[in-house]
Amino acid sequence: MSLETDFDPVFTTLLALKEKQIQQNYRPIIGVHKWFARRPGTVFRNLLLAEFNGAESLDTSYWRAHQFKGVIADPFMGGGTPVFEANRLGFSVVGVDVNPVACWVVRQSLGELDLQQFRHVVKLVVDDVEPVVGDLYQTRCIHCRRSAPVKYFLWVKTETCPSCGTNNDLFPGYLLATDDRHPKYVVACPHCGELNEYDHPPRQSAPGRCQSCKGAVQVEGTVRNQRVQCRNCRREYPYPQRRLVPRPPTHRLWALEYHCLHCKPRHQGRFFKRPDEEDAARVQRAVAALAKATLPIPEDEIPNGDETARLHRWGYHRYREMFNERQLFGLGTLLARIRLVPDVPARHALLTVFSDFLRYQNMLCRYDTYALKCQDIFSVHGFPVGLVQCENSLLGIPYVGSGSFRHFVEKYVRAKEYCRRPFETRQDTGRKQVVPIAGERIEARLVQEFPRADGREAWLLSAPAVQASLPLESLDGVFTDPPYFDNVQYAELMDFCFVWLRLALADEFAEFRQDTTRNEHELTGNQTLGRGLEHFTAGLSAVFRHYAAALKPYAPFVFTYHHNDPAVYAPLVVAILDAGLDCTATLPVAAEMSASLHIAGTGSSILDSVFVCRRTPVKAREEDVAAWLAADAEAMRKAGVRVMAGDVRCLAAGHIARLAINRLRPEWDAGMELSARLARARGCLERLSRELRVQDLISRVWAAAAQGPHPKETPVAATL
């Protein structure tokens, strides 16, 4: 049981916290395509090394190349982190995911690509598309009057007053830019729309004066508590309004950020302007061009769901409605040209880039007034509908801005270069050092059957995990990051990309001929679809049993997990016991940043419990839980984590689940009705929580952790 004794949670968490701060720098492979809630690659590299590299300590083995032989499986492949790390260490892999986009992303990550040929094809595509769409992304510089490329167009939602018919802007605030990345605050005038610059943000209590109309200017907007006051009749009314005939929101263009190469050498800060008549004319030209063109644009309806319900409330009922006319014309033109690329690997790579950059090319993107850039639609794991939207440049300005096609091409190239020459990043006394790992690579020969143990092969399936045909005693380990019940609605979110991808891939791949990535076998809790804990438990149990049966004797079944609700650990207990496994360890590790937008302010944990399971029975004692939990909290504190109550609560839930598995295993009957098995697991968890007085235990451990020192930065002590 190497993993149970040789895993180093302090060393691993030190690396994981650094990686999650700028994950694309530590693991550039994630630049192939967006996936949700990716666990740090550093975590799975250390888990694999702790299991398969003998007694050598992680802080030395981590920094050198390895070439293991064997087969590692991941039944919940998602973005592919365990698959990539296992492949990099020499293993052949079996990766399965019910979502076809997940399988596509991993396939593109592991496949070969001639980067020189890819760049050549990119140039041909851009050279053909730019004359068609380029002028739509130009404006006239307010300083030199020359034509200049636009980085971002800013739009505000509007709503018609039900009393007088006046169209009102839904401004949550008039601030466009702070003085952090620009010399001054930039604020729009609520009367004439002029953009004004101030040394301090003007408030209603101390307004500024507009340089154009001399009216009062303040940062406070016109909306509050989802109500807006009409600028004409002064009546307040709610938004979005319910209509007999639903329609998507309307928008008004109110600002641009552009980049003037002629003026830049003598200009401080960014270039902002209020749109003029030429800018409005370009919008109308895009509308007319779209009406005349026949382009590959999805017409799919947006199905109802836990996340998409918000889109429906705002009147979005088709995916194309999430884009404006200029975006649809540009995206359709670009996709049509990509479909004509004859080189298959290059075409597939370009389609992957196209799919990924969609998240910055829609009318749900927002503008960050601090960083002065476009925000990804998936900056949180949902479809947040803001009031001010950011339209990005389609092809983009070389070396300026972010989120355009050119920028995503470079991100993709960097990801594939990393696959050829992986590296690690070591921090010692605050300085970063890139450590090449010569002899490793992330690349596999893609096969259509169970892979050879010594062939660095990858068998990737877009299917329910139980449909993978696995020979008995064929797996050296299962390492996975399963769904955390209802934390992320993967299919609802990925449909946004899928409906575009399938316009180009349906003729080649059967999994792209379906209408949606939603699948009855998806193991995410979903209220809209009536998928609760029993559905999650049944699916998890089937997968665990299927893969556990293929494990070699003593081989580990390892997975990460955390959830705010302790009841959601009962399905894990059932699945592990149904598979004939015992939980030999629950290990702590950092998995998120507290500053992540989907975590900040929620009280959620940034830590995962790593469940290590084997067929080997173990004996755990109730009195051990307090020691385990205290040791975990101390390890996380040593790694620089500011341990919070939510962190301790999640770690405690993992340990109690481990203890429940141990208690229930001797008399467990996997043939009982699912509801009875789930009730037994839940009852045992509740009983152990009472006996251990878990709330008091959490309070004590948290208090002890909070009293300890919290170093700002703990160096990764490692030697090459």
Provide the residue ranges of all domains of the chain, joining segments of one domain with +. 2-111+414-489+524-707, 121-172+221-402
Q: What is the 3-state secondary structure (H, E, C) of 633-702?
A: HHHHHHCCCCCCHHHHHHHHHHHHHHHHHHHHHHHCCCCCCHHHHHHHHHHHHHHHHHHCCHHHHHHHHH
Q: What is the pLDDT of residue 428?
A: 74
Q: What is the pLDDT of residue 594?
A: 55
The bridge status of strand 271-273 relative to strand 250-258 is antiparallel
Distances (CA, A) of 310 to 223, 285, 386, 664: 19, 31, 11, 42
Choose among 110, 74, 55: nearest CA to 418. 110
Cα gap 99→105, rounded to integer Å? 10
Choose among 496, 444, 162: nearest CA to 321. 496
Cα gap 693→695, rounded to integer Å? 6
Residue spans of alpha helices (H) in 340-390:
344-357
Q: What is the pLDDT of residue 117?
A: 98
Residue ranges in the chain whose pLDDT is less than 70:
1, 593-603, 708-720
Distances (CA, A) of 672 to 114, 192, 466, 479: 54, 71, 21, 28
CATH number, domain 2-111+414-489+524-707: 3.40.50.150
Q: What is the pLDDT of residue 484?
A: 86
Q: What is the pLDDT of residue 603?
A: 56
User: CA angle 209-213-215, nearest 5°?
Assistant: 40
Q: What is the pLDDT of residue 427?
A: 81
Q: What is the pLDDT of residue 487?
A: 84
Cα gap 93→185, rounded to integer Å? 53
Backbone dihedral angles phi then psi of residue 657, each to the nearest 5 degrees: -60, -40
The interaxial angle of helices 344-357 and 100-110, nearest 10 deg, is: 130
Residue spans of alpha helices (H) in 378-454:
405-420
Distances (CA, A) of 661 to 5, 207, 577: 20, 64, 7
Cα gap 237→214, rounded to integer Å? 29
Q: What is the pLDDT of residue 600?
A: 44
**Buried residues in 694-707 as b, exposed as e (16+ CB within 10 A):** beebbeebbeebee
The interaxial angle of helices 533-548 and 674-691, nearest 10 deg, is: 100
Q: What residues have CB less than 8 Å from 268, skipping those under 6 apart?
A: 183
> What's the number of CA atoms in the CB half-sphere (13 Å) around residue 654?
29
